[in-house]
Amino acid sequence: MLNRLRQMLIKEFLQLFRDPRARFGLIVPTIVQVLIYGYAATFELHHVRMAVLDLDHSYESRDLLSRFESNGHFELAETLTDRHQIADRIDRGEVTLAIQVLPGFAELVRKGQTAPVQVILDGTNSNTALIALGYINEIANAFARDYAQANLLRTAPSIAVHMPEVQLARRPWYNPNLESQWFFVPGTIGSILLTSCLTLAAFAIVREREIGTLEQVMVSPISRLEFILGKTIPFFLIAVTQMVGIMLIGRLWFQVPFLGSYLMLGLGTAVFLLSVLGVSLFISTISYTQQQAMIAAFFFIMPAITLSGFSFPISSMPRVMQWMTYLDPLRYYLVIIRDSFLKGDGWNVLGPQMLGLVVIALALLAISVQRFHKSLD
């Protein structure tokens, strides 16, 4: 058995690496995806183009608007002279937001009353709009606090000295500088392994059926178990190699720390890949061409990544969707990866995630292998 299995593994690797496009697809897209997520994927906003319309023309209004320009999150694209220009600039995409200071702003501020400032946002990208509003509120509150304190120092310095003040001392754990790269780069391991391992394994089996060699293999001395192992082990090993490569890029290039256990990460990766291979076997039983396999793989990959918490927090999803995430193996694997990199958690925290992966992997493999056996009959 071992000799036949070894020969089949050699055949699979030779068939895979003989194709230049396959070699290219195994290496280059992986590196490109890591670099894209590392540099382009971020929750922060920088240099958001804005327009300002100052209808008050006071010292206070200029002081407020200057804080937006020097903040670093916003970039002044244009100073408007008429409120009708706002809609035109946002409609044409020249600016993302416009800040309008209404007449009488300074007078209201000096009286200690509420001075409204209108913010017009392009809500096409709701995530960008919400984050920008958070920055705007922070800047406006800082302006009001500084103005009130300066005014009190001028009018009643003795009272100002004894005014209570609450200072927020931020201390982010595990990611002190709140680097988005530390969040996304480890997550790319799960998404890339899911995509590459699933598609490669499913396509390899379907290709045998499509070109008519599957029947020739089945009449050979190779057993069905040997055939399944010979078709899945190569892609398991390739996926492990990709994981190691992404880890090296994350550690050496993006300087993402690794505080956890390599043993825990290795076990979690192995169980996760077994569940992915179970899905690929299932796809091979319902697909007769590579085009059908591609559609079926796409139908699984996109919901799996969306429900995994890779980009969107699971807690923000509807309750039904949150329940569905427990059927997603990538959900558990991302917790293992990110906690291993940033938190260094052990079995007491990652054990339940590992158990969930084991249950899903066993169920998927059992169902897929049974269906695969029936499809060969």
Q: Which tokens belong to 331?
A: 């959900």
Query: What pTM was estimated for this model as a whole?
Result: 0.81
Residue range 250-304, pLDDT digits in tens: 999 989 999 988 999 999 999 999 999 989 888 888 888 888 888 888 899 999 9
Is residue 37 domain-shared with residue 52, that is, in the same domain?
no
Domain co-membership, 305 together with 338: yes
Q: Which of 132, 161, 190 is the last residue of a domain?
A: 161
Check if the beta carbon of residue 190 is closer than 8 Å to that of residue 337.
yes
**Residue that is last in its domain, among 161, 196, 215:** 161
What's the CA gap between 305 and 201, in Å, rounded? 19
Query: At which residue do the structure tokens 């996304």 appear?
Result: 184
**Pairing relationship of beta strands 117-121 and 74-79 according to DSSP bridges:** unpaired
pLDDT at 275: 93
One-letter amino acid of 357 = L
Angle at the Cα of 230 (from 224 to 233), degrees rounded to 5?
Answer: 130
pLDDT, one tens digit per residue, over 15-58 is 777 777 767 777 888 888 888 888 877 777 888 899 999 999 99
CA-to-CA distance for 279 and 293, rounded, in angstroms?
Answer: 11
The answer as to whether 134 is a domain residue is yes
Q: Which residues pair with 120 in a beta bridge?
A: 98
Q: Cα separation of 156 and 84, whole Å?
A: 43
Residues 251 and 270 in one domain: yes
Are 13 and 56 in a shared domain? Answer: no
Same domain, 263 and 368: yes
Judgement on whether residues 13 and 63 belong to the same structural domain of the protein: no
CA distance 166 to 162: 13
Question: pLDDT grade, residue 1 (50/70/90)?
Answer: low
Pair (154, 269) in one structural domain: no
Residue 205 lies in a domain: yes
CATH number reported for the structural domain that contains residue 142 in this entry: 3.40.1710.10
pLDDT at 206: 80
Span 154-174, pLDDT tens digits: 766 666 556 666 677 778 888
| Residues 226, 349 within the same domain | yes
- Do 54 and 61 form a contact (C-beta atoms < 8 A)? yes
Determine the length of the chain: 377
In a domain, 170, yes or no: no
Output the furthest CA–CA distance in the chain (Å, rounded).
97
Residue 169: inside a domain, yes or no?
A: no
22 inside domain: yes
Same domain, 114 and 212: no
Query: Which structural domain range is residue 62 located in?
Result: 48-161
Task: Characterise 201 by phi-psi region: left (phi > 0), alpha (psi -120 to 50), beta (else).
Answer: alpha
Structural domain includes residue 171: no
Q: Which residue has the tokens 């003795």?
A: 158
Kindly give the residue spans of alpha helices, DSSP state H, lying in 84-223. 84-91, 105-110, 126-155, 157-161, 181-211, 214-218
Measured CA to CA, the distance from residue 29 to residue 242 in angstroms comes to 11
Number of domains within the chain: 2
Tokens representing 177 are: 């500088």
Where does the pLDDT of residue 109 fall: very low under 50, low under 70, confident under 90, or very high at 90 and above?
confident
CA-to-CA distance for 248 and 244, rounded, in angstroms?
6
Residue 172 domain-assigned (yes or no): no
Residue whose tokens read 């120092």:
153
Tell the burial category of 339 from Cβ atoms under 10 Å away from its Cβ (0-12, 13-18, 19+): buried
Which of 58, 43, 66, 71 shows the shortest CA–CA distance to 138?
71
The tens digit of pLDDT for each residue in 309-332 reads 888 889 888 999 999 999 999 999
In one-letter notation, the amino acid at residue 236 is: F
